[in-house]
Amino acid sequence: MSTKNEKAKAAVLFSGGIDSTTALYWAKNTFSQVFALIFHYGQHHCIEVDMAERIARRLYTPFDIIRFPLNDIVYSALTDKKKDIPTSLASSRDAEGIPFTYVPFRNGIFLSIAAAFAESRGITELVTGFNLIDTPDYPDTTGAFAQKMEAAINEGTSASITGRRFAVHTPLILKSKKEIIEMGLELGVDYSFSISCYRGNEVPCLACPSCDIRSRAFSLLHMEDPLITRLKKEGRL
């Protein structure tokens, strides 16, 4: 476990999925104050916004829901109701290898908004759940992208004058979903309220690419997904 930085404050890009939930717990274990930024950008699976808020409240973590509809700006299967959600990993990419579920420059937009939020509040640490292993075809989840966004933020904010530099953290960048969950379990993460399904329901479809990756990871760990366990206890599965 990391040693907590008692001076630094952090803002976490928080969707409530496996990755960002693990990143939130990591941030709370690393920094003195943590804020969760939840983005409602017009995604089909907006149930994740409600569940992310629920997770933040359970962790007594201050949060802001930032509403920034991208529906009329970008084209993606996650924002366009006329587009079908892929039914498997094998069918999730176009002819050029770009996933249908890629939302153009989404993480760049989120980091830009997070930087403005952070600069206004004296926050210098921006935490992401970027994960390259499970999303190798997403150009905005790479380490190089995070480093260049960090440089742009430091150049285009008061950091260029004050020297109070921002840092973009990617603690999960080279971990598989299985390794991310293992890390989360060590941190005490409760995954029973985290939502991954692209189809927008709390009860997962178990067929979309995100559900596929999630279910495989828990299978490799020889354990039942805590979300499934909770839904069974509630009589919903």
Q: pLDDT higher for 198 or 13? A: 13
Q: What is the pLDDT of residue 89?
A: 59
Chain segment 196-234, per-residue pLDDT in tens: 998 888 999 998 889 999 999 999 999 999 999 999 999
CA dist 32 and 156 (Å) reads: 26
Structural domain boundaries in the chain: 5-233
Q: What is the pLDDT of residue 98?
A: 84
Q: How many residues would you count in the chain?
A: 237
State residue 115 phi and psi, 5-degree precision: -65, -40
**Is residue 75 predicted with pLDDT exceeding 60?**
yes
Q: What is the pLDDT of residue 133?
A: 86
* % pLDDT > 90, the chain: 76
Q: What average pLDDT is seen over the chain?
A: 92
Q: What architecture (CATH level 2) is domain 5-233?
A: 3-Layer(aba) Sandwich (3.40)
* % pLDDT > 70, the chain: 95
Q: Which residues, including other chains, have CB under 8 Å from residue 194's CB and lie 6 or more apart?
A: 16, 17, 18, 21, 51, 55, 227
CA 29 to chain centre: 17
Q: Model confidence at 165, in pLDDT bands (50, 70, 90)? A: very high
First to last CA, the chain: 36
For the whole model, what pTM was predicted? 0.94
CA dist 209 and 68 (Å) reads: 25
